[in-house]
C-alpha cells in the first residue's frame, strides 16, 4: 500500500514536471520569437517608417513613450542670458569695402595722411559730417568706402545640469524630416536659426546621427550645435570653460557644475584652435586686433572687446563682425557674441578667478 501510494505520488510529480517543462519550453520559444520580431522591426523601421509596427522611423511602442516625454518637456529647461543692449550699441561699427584699399584723410575733404590695405577691415565711427566718417581723432574716411555692421544679438543660456534631455541650437533653418534620413517635410515650417531644441532620441543613418526634436521631426546632426558636458580635467578648479570644437559650443563651469552654455566660432581648418588645457594669461577689456599684413587674409579690427588670452595670442573675445556662431570662422580664436563675451569676462573674474582655465576638446571629428 505504501509502495503504491509512493508510485502514484511519484507519477503525479513526474507528470507535473513534464507539464511545467513543456510550458517553459513553449514560453521560451514565444519570448524568443517576440524579442527577435521587435529587434527586426527596430532594424526595418528606416525602410518602413510608418508601417510594420513602426512610427516616424522607430518602433511604435518606443515612439509612443517618447511622445509622452515630448509633451512633458516641449523645450529645454534653460534661461537665456538677456542680450546686452548697452554692449550692442556701444560702438558704431563699419566695414571698409573699397577693393583698392581705403584712404585716410586729416579732415572731411582734407589731405590724405595714410591708407588701409584692402582686407577684412572693420572700424568704429565717432563722428560723421557730409558723407565723411571719423574713425579715430583726426582720421576721416569716405562713407562710400564703408558698409554698416549690426552685431549679433544671439546670447547663451544658463543651464540646468539635471535637465532630462540634451539641448541643442538649430544652426541652419531647415524643415525637419518625418523620419531619420528622410527628405524634408514640406508641410512643416523651417525651424529658425538659433532655436533651442531638446534631443529626445537619436538614430544613425549612413554614418550621420539624426535627432528627434519634436513629434515626427528629425534633423541631421550637421544642422545643430549640441551642448555636451565633460568631467573636470585634472588640475582644473574654480571657474573654467570647456570649448567643444566639434559642436562649436562653450560651457562655463563652477568646479564640477555646468552653469552656462553658448555657441562659439573657433579656428578654420587653416588656423585650427589647439586642443588642450590652458590658463588664461591676460585679460583685455578693449583693444584692436590685426594680422596677416601683406597677405590675402589680412585683417584689422578695431575695438575688440572682452578678451581672455589663453594659448599665446589665441583668446576668447567678443565678435561684432559676423553672426556665424556654431560654425568655424576665425584665425584660431574663440569668437563669442558681445553679450556672451561681456558675461564671460566678468563672471570669470568674480570670486577671485582672475585667470580662469580653458579646456579645448573635440567630441567628434569634422568631415
How confident is the model over 276-292, as pLDDT tens digits?
999 999 999 999 998 76
Q: Is residue 80 predicted with pLDDT exceeding 90? A: yes
pLDDT on residue 27 = 38
Q: What is the pLDDT of residues 107-141, one digit of tens each?
A: 999 999 999 989 899 999 999 999 999 999 999 99
- Do residues 132 and 186 share a domain? no
Name the domain count of the chain: 3
42 has a pLDDT exceeding 80: no
Q: What DSSP designation does 91 have?
A: -
DSSP state of 32: H
Asked if residue 23 is part of any domain, the answer here is no
Based on the domain organization, do 174 and 95 belong to the same domain? Answer: no
Return the pLDDT at 32.
35
C-alpha cell at 360: 579645448
pLDDT the model gives residue 295: 64
Mean pLDDT of the chain: 89
Show the cell assigned to 186: 514640406
257 plus 321 within the same structural domain: yes
Domain of residue 252: give its range: 239-361
Same domain, 194 and 308: no
Q: Could you report the per-residue pLDDT of 246-280, keeping only the tens digit for each?
A: 999 999 999 999 999 999 999 999 999 999 999 99
Q: How confident is the model at residue 234 (pLDDT cuts 50, 70, 90)?
A: very high
The secondary structure of residue 275, as a DSSP letter, is P
Q: Same domain for 333 and 302? A: yes
Residue 37 lies in a domain: no
Q: How confident is the model at residue 29 (pLDDT cuts 50, 70, 90)?
A: very low
Same domain flag for 262 and 349: yes
- Residue 15 belongs to some domain of the structure: no
Does some domain include residue 30? no
Whether the predicted pLDDT of 294 surpasses 90:
no
Distant-in-sequence, close-in-space partners of 229: CB < 8 Å, separation ≥ 6? 161, 251, 258
Q: What's 130's domain CATH number?
A: 2.30.30
- pLDDT tops 70 at residue 317: yes
DSSP state of 177: B
135-193 pLDDT, tens digit per residue, is 999 999 999 999 999 999 999 999 999 999 999 999 999 999 999 999 999 999 999 99
pLDDT at 26 over 50: no
Residue 90's pLDDT band, with cuts at 50, 70 and 90, is very high
Quickly count: other Cβ atoms within 10 Å of residue 146's Cβ. 21
* pLDDT at 339 (0 to 100): 98
| Residues 212-216, mean pLDDT to the nearest whole number | 98
Higher model confidence: residue 366 or residue 153?
153
Q: In this predicted structure, what is the pLDDT of residue 296?
A: 65
Same domain? For 320 and 280 the reply is yes
Q: Residue 307: inside a domain, yes or no?
A: yes
- Tell whether 311 and 291 lie within a shared domain: yes
Q: Which residues pair with 20 in a beta bridge?
A: none
Amino acid at each position: 500500500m505504501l509502495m503504491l501510494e509512493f508510485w502514484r505520488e511519484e507519477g503525479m510529480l513526474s507528470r507535473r514536471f513534464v507539464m511545467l517543462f513543456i510550458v517553459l519550453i513553449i514560453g521560451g520559444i514565444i519570448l524568443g520569437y517576440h524579442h527577435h520580431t521587435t529587434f527586426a522591426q527596430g532594424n526595418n523601421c528606416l525602410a518602413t517608417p510608418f508601417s510594420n509596427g513602426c512610427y516616424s522611423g522607430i518602433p511604435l511602442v518606443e515612439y509612443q513613450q517618447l511622445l509622452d516625454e515630448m509633451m512633458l518637456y516641449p523645450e529645454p529647461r534653460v534661461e537665456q542670458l538677456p542680450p546686452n543692449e548697452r554692449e550692442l550699441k556701444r560702438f558704431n561699427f563699419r566695414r571698409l569695402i573699397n577693393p583698392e584699399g581705403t584712404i585716410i584723410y586729416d579732415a572731411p575733404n582734407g589731405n590724405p595722411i595714410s591708407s588701409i590695405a584692402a582686407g577684412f577691415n572693420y572700424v568704429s565711427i565717432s563722428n560723421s559730417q557730409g558723407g565723411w566718417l571719423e574713425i579715430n581723432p583726426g582720421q576721416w574716411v569716405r562713407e562710400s568706402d564703408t558698409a554698416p555692421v549690426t552685431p549679433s544679438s544671439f546670447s547663451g543660456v544658463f543651464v540646468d545640469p539635471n535637465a532630462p534631455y540634451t539641448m541643442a541650437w538649430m544652426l541652419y533653418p531647415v524643415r525637419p524630416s518625418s523620419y531619420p534620413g528622410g527628405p524634408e517635410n514640406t508641410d512643416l515650417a523651417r525651424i529658425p536659426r538659433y532655436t533651442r531644441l531638446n534631443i529626445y532620441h537619436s538614430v544613425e543613418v549612413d554614418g550621420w546621427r539624426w535627432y528627434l526634436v519634436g513629434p515626427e521631426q528629425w534633423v541631421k546632426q550637421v544642422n545643430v550645435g549640441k551642448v555636451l558636458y565633460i568631467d573636470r580635467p585634472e588640475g582644473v578648479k574654480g571657474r573654467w570653460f570647456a570649448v567643444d570644437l566639434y559642436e562649436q559650443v562653450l560651457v562655463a563651469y563652477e568646479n564640477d557644475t555646468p552653469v552656462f552654455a553658448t555657441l562659439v566660432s573657433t579656428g578654420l581648418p587653416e588656423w585650427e584652435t589647439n586642443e588642450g588645457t590652458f590658463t588664461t594669461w591676460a585679460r583685455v577689456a578693449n583693444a584692436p586686433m590685426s594680422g596677416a599684413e601683406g597677405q590675402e587674409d589680412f585683417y584689422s579690427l578695431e575695438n575688440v572687446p572682452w578678451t581672455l588670452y589663453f594659448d599665446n595670442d589665441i583668446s576668447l573675445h567678443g565678435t561684432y563682425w559676423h553672426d556665424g556662431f556654431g560654425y568655424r570662422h576665425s584665425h584660431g580664436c574663440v569668437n563669442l557674441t558681445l553679450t556672451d563675451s561681456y558675461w564671460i569676462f566678468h563672471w570669470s573674474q568674480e570670486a577671485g578667478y582672475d585667470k580662469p582655465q580653458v579646456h579645448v576638446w573635440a567630441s567628434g571629428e569634422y568631415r
